[in-house]
Structure 1
């Protein structure tokens, strides 16, 4: 019994010694790693020199740019232009008054309007010259001219379309088309041929509806 107890005691002491040796070895390894890390840090500091921590600059928060406003007025103008597109196929001859000079009067207006227009009751305030333009250019120019004149409150304008003497066969192509375009425009109340000194057969005096500027 006594022999067994001594053996157990020796075994216990041996295990305790092994544990202590293992713990000592772990602590030595930890200290060695810690010392190496410190040495590496010192070596890095000597290599780069003195350093200062970066200052934290104030952050600038950029607000997203607002979406550009929709060009509503321009869209309305473009839509209006599409609605008011002038047809080249429109025959205005049936709407023209056949007298000494061809003239046009919107239905519902008194017959004295064209006579007063011809006498110069309304002074010509603006003029557009379509002479020499191609048909497409002339149509767009005339449409824009009438629209802007109406907006400005202009009541009376002169439209120069030429006599067509330079056209093939000396046929006044543009003259007939201008008649048809004017009849299709809502702004136009009446028109008459200009006086001889103001263009004669190569121009028209046009009366417009009262616009915003009046």
Structure 2
């Protein structure tokens, strides 16, 4: 049976000639990847590299330059949030994002909040500017900053700053306690 199949195969292939080259040439370059395809390939390769920064550069709800930003997670006491809103807490760290592009601002904000949380700093101030003249849309950095702050799990609340701290161009941030502060708090309350 096997010999019969081989004979049939050889009969069918009798007129077939071997190609001179293994690969087909593309003399016009029509099948070369386009610049867009090369850019997508490069972006995909870069994406495969691990980036711990999870803050999104995709769609953002635009805010107005003079809009008050207000965000509070469930569980934050009203008195604590009111004191943050009114600028009554000591500001332990400040970040200037003015003049930075979105990619640079994203990295700076992510790193700033992460380091402050690790060091036990709880109240922060971020200067993002009002962005009245920013292109293509007004307040683009302010809009993204507000979006990013809501994406960071350590951020309990944020609110537009009081006039003496930058007003509409800045935002107060309240961070949750880090693990050391939580442990100290538990120990302090257990002794009572």
TM > 0.5 between the two?
yes
Which runs of 5 or more residues in structure 1 are unaligned?
1-77
Q: Is 1:139 matched with 2:111?
A: no
1:173 is aligned, of 117, 124, 140, to 140
Is contact 1:160-1:204 (8 Å) kept? yes
Q: Deviations over 1:146-190 (max 9, x none)?
A: 000000000100001011033136601000000000000011000
- Cα distance in 2 between the residues matched to 1:213 and 1:167: 41
- Cα distance in 1 between the residues matched to 2:176 and 2:160: 18
Tell me which residue corresponds to 1:160: 127
Seen in structure 2, the aligned counterparts of structure 1 residues 85 and 162 have a Cα distance that, compared at 3 Å, is same
Is contact 2:69-2:146 (8 Å) kept? no
Tell me which residue corresponds to 1:114: 81
1:198 is aligned, of 140, 165, 174, to 165
Q: Is 1:86 matched with 2:86?
A: no
Moved more, 110-119 or 137-146: 110-119
Q: Secondary structure, in 3 states, of the residue corresponding to 2:82?
A: helix
CA RMSD of aligned residues (A): 2.5
Larger Rg: 1
Which runs of 5 or more residues in structure 2 are unaligned?
1-48, 182-192
The count of corresponding residues between Structure 1 and Structure 2 is: 130
Is contact 1:126-1:157 (8 Å) kept? yes
**TM-score, normalising length from structure 1?**
0.54
**TM-score, normalising length from structure 2?**
0.60
- Cα distance in 2 between the residues matched to 1:147 and 1:85: 12
- Cα distance in 1 between the residues matched to 2:136 and 2:147: 21
Q: CA deviation at 1:212?
A: 4.9
Higher helix share: 1
Q: CA deviation at 1:197?
A: 1.6
Q: Which has the higher contact order (CA 8 A, sep 6+)?
A: 2
Q: CA deviation at 1:102?
A: 2.6
Seen in structure 2, the aligned counterparts of structure 1 residues 143 and 169 have a Cα distance that, compared at 3 Å, is closer
